[in-house]
Amino acid sequence: MRNSGTIVACVLAVLVAGCAAGGTVRGWPGVGGNRTGPEAGCPPIMSHFDDPMNNYGTRDRMLSNDPPWNKPHSGIDFDVPAGTPVLAVADGLVTPIMYNELSPIGAISMVLYHGEDTDGRYVFSFYSHLSEQRKKPGERVRRGEVIALSGTTGTKEAHLHLSLWRTPVGPHPTAFRAFMWRAIGRSDRSILADPALSWADPRRPGFDPGRSYAERPIRLTYPLPCTPPPAR
C-alpha cells in the first residue's frame, strides 16, 4: 500500500453528490437491465450509473430542485427486498465513515477499501440503505463474504446502492479511523466510476466461490447473491 503522506484520507465523493456527467461512459446495460439481464439469477438493476435522478419516481427528495438531489446517479441501485445479504465485491478492509449534512437521513452505509490498483488509484466500494451491518471498521473481508443486510434506511423503497470510487488520494496506513467522505458542490467526477465497467465477468458477474480471482487489477463481483450458472 503506497503511503500517500496524508494523515487523513478524504474521498471527495458522496452517495448523491456529483457534477456534470459529460463524457461519462455508461456501464454494461444488459447486466441486470430491464429486470432480467444475461445472468437471470442475479437481482435486477433498477437504476444505472449516471441515470437522471428523476428515474426514481417520487422517492425521497430525488425530484427536488435542491442540490445535490438533482444530480446524475453516482452508482447502481439493485432491486432487492429488505434483509437480502450484501456481499463484498472484492477483498477489502471495512473503513469508518464520517457522515455530514448531505448524507441521506438515517441511512446505514458501509465503505470497503480494496487497495491500490494497477493504475495507481485507490479503490473503495460504498454500500448504502442497509438494515444491518455484519462487519465492523478495521475488519478484513473476503470477496463474496456477507458484510451487511439490505434495507430501507434513508429511503422509502427497499434497495441496495453501490458506488465505486477510484481516487488518487490514498489512506495513510495508520489513519483509517480518520477516514471521511466529503460532499462538495462540484466533486471531481474522475473519482466516481461505474461499477458495471469493473465486473470480473460481465456475462456472469455473480460471485463464484469455486473460481480464482486475480488480486490486480481490481475487478468486482455482484454485491448480492446470484443463482450459480448451470453446469456445462
For residue 115, what is the domain's CATH number? 2.70.70.10
Residue 68, preceding peptide bond in cis (omega within 30° of 0): yes
Is 19 a domain residue? no
Do residues 89 and 143 make contact, with C-beta atoms less than 8 angstroms apart?
yes
Is 229 a domain residue? no
pLDDT per residue rounded down to tens, the chain (232 residues): 443 333 233 333 333 333 223 333 333 333 443 333 444 578 888 766 655 554 343 344 343 444 444 455 567 889 899 999 999 999 999 988 765 444 556 788 898 999 999 988 889 898 988 999 999 989 999 999 999 999 988 888 898 999 888 877 666 433 333 333 443 333 444 577 888 888 998 888 999 999 999 999 999 999 999 987 655 5
Is 231 a domain residue? no
What is the C-alpha to C-alpha distance for residues 41 and 136, in angstroms, rounded to an integer?
29
Number of structural domains (the chain) is 1
Q: 31 Cβ partners below 8 Å, 6+ apart? A: 37, 38, 39, 42, 45, 196, 199, 202, 205
Using CA atoms, how far residue 161 sits from 14, 31, 74, 118, 212, in Å, is 12, 15, 9, 26, 26
Is 230 a domain residue? no
User: Is the model's pTM score more than 0.95?
Assistant: no
pLDDT of 96 reads 80
Is 159 a domain residue? yes
pLDDT of 5 reads 34
Is 5 a domain residue? no
Is 224 a domain residue? no
Enclosing domain of residue 150: 39-198
Do residues 220 and 90 make contact, with C-beta atoms less than 8 angstroms apart?
yes
SS (H, E, C) 23-91: CCCCCCCCCCHHHCCCCCCCCCEEECCCCCHHHHCCCCCCCCCCCCCCCCCCCEEECCCCCCEEECCCC
